[in-house]
Chain A
Amino acid sequence: MSEPTLSLRDLTVEIPTRHGILRPVDRVSYDIAAGEILGVVGESGAGKSMAGNAVIGLLNRPARIAGGEVWLNGTRIDELGREPMRRLRGKQIGMVFQDPLTSLNPLLTVGDQIAETILEHLPVSRSEARARAIAALDEVGIPAARDRVDSYPHAFSGGMRQRVVIALALCAEPSLVIADEPTTALDVSVQAQIIALLKRLCRERGTAVMLVTHDMGVIAEAADRVAVMYAGRLAEIGPVAGVLGAPRHPYTVGLMGSTPGASRGQRRLTQIPGAMPRLGALPQGCAFHPRCPRRGLNCDVDPAPRLDADGGRAACWYPVTETEKAEA
Chain B
Amino acid sequence: MSDKGTGPHPAAQDGTLVRIRKLTRVFDVSKPWLNRVIERLPRARLTAVSDVSFDIPERGVYALVGESGSGKSTIGKMVVGLLDPSEGEVRVRDVDLASETDAAKVAAARSEIQMIFQDPYASLNPRWRVRDIIAEPVAARGGDTRGLAERLLEQVGLAAEDAVKYPHEFSGGQRQRICIARALAANPKLIVCDEPTSALDVSVQAQVLNLMSDLREEYGLTYLFISHDLTVVQHMADTIGVLYLGRLVEEAASDALFETPRHPYTQMLFAAAPRMDAYGREVEPPKGEIPDPINPPAGCAFHPRCPIAVARCKSERPEMRRVGGARVACHLAE
Contact = CB atoms under 8 A, between A and B. Distances in A.
Interface of A: 43-44, 157, 159-160, 187-193, 195-196, 214-218, 220-221, 223, 240-241, 244-245, 254-262, 264, 267-272, 275-276
Nearest to B66: A187
B278 A221 contact: yes
Contacts of B290: 187, 189
Interface stretch (B29-37, B43-51, B71-79, B267-275): B267-275
Nearest to B204: A275
Interface in B182-229: 201-207, 209-210, 213, 228-229
Given A220-B277, A240-B279, A241-B279, 14 more contacts: A189-B272, A189-B289, A191-B274, A196-B284, A218-B274, A220-B275, A221-B279, A241-B280, A255-B202, A258-B206, A260-B206, A260-B209, A261-B230, A261-B276
A258 B276 contact: no
B98 interface: no
Interface in B154-184: 171, 173
B278 A267 contact: no
B285 A255 contact: no
B141 interface: no
A261 B279 CA distance: 14
26 contacts: A43-B201, A189-B67, A189-B269, A189-B286, A189-B289, A192-B273, A192-B274, A192-B285, A195-B285, A196-B285, A215-B274, A217-B231, A217-B275, A220-B275, A220-B278, A220-B279, A221-B281, A240-B279, A244-B276, A245-B279, A258-B206, A261-B234, A264-B234, A267-B213, A268-B210, A275-B203
A258 B285 contact: no
Contacts of B234: 260-261, 264
A249 B37 CA distance: 65
Nearest to B286: A189
B1 interface: no
Contacts of B204: 43, 275
B275 A44 contact: no
B279 A258 contact: no
A192 B209 CA distance: 26
A271 to B, nearest CB: 5
Which of B210, B268, B271, B272 lies at the interface centre, i.e. has the most chain A CB atoms within 10 A of its CB?
B272
Contacts of B122: none
Contact of B276 (A44, A217, A267): A217
B32 to A, nearest CB: 19
Interface in B249-307: 268-269, 271-281, 283-286, 289-290
A261 B274 CA distance: 9
A170 to B, nearest CB: 18
Contacts of B207: 271
A38 to B, nearest CB: 14
A240 to B, nearest CB: 5
B4 interface: no
Contacts of A188: 67, 228, 230, 269, 272-274
B315 interface: no
A157 B289 contact: yes
Contacts of A264: 234
Given A214-B202, A241-B279, A268 B213 contact: yes
Contact of A44 (B201, B228, B281, B289): B201
Contacts of B171: 275
A70 B18 CA distance: 59
A272 B206 contact: yes
A193 B279 contact: no
A43 B231 CA distance: 18
A191 B201 contact: no
Contact of B173 (A157, A217, A267, A275): A275
Contacts of A241: 279-280
A43 B202 contact: yes
Contact of B205 (A187, A189, A258, A268): A258
A37 to B, nearest CB: 11
Contact of A193 (B68, B202, B286): B286
Contact of A189 (B202, B213, B285): B285
Nearest to B200: A44
B11 interface: no
Contacts of A218: 274
Nearest to A45: B201
Given A188-B228, A191-B272, A271 B210 contact: yes
Closest 7 CB pairs of A and B: A217-B274, A261-B231, A258-B206, A192-B272, A269-B206, A43-B201, A260-B235
Contacts of B278: 217, 220-221
Contacts of A189: 67, 268-269, 272, 285-286, 289-290
Contacts of A275: 171, 173, 203-204
Contact of A269 (B210, B272, B284, B285): B210
B277 A258 contact: no
B232 interface: yes
Contact of B274 (A214, A221, A254): A221
A258 B228 contact: no
Contact of B206 (A215, A220, A271): A271
B203 A193 contact: no
Contacts of A187: 67-68, 228, 290
Contacts of A258: 202-203, 205-206
Contacts of B173: 275
A187 B66 CA distance: 9
A192 B286 CA distance: 7
A134 B68 CA distance: 29
Given A220-B276, A221-B274, A159 B289 contact: yes
A220 to B, nearest CB: 4
B273 to A, nearest CB: 5
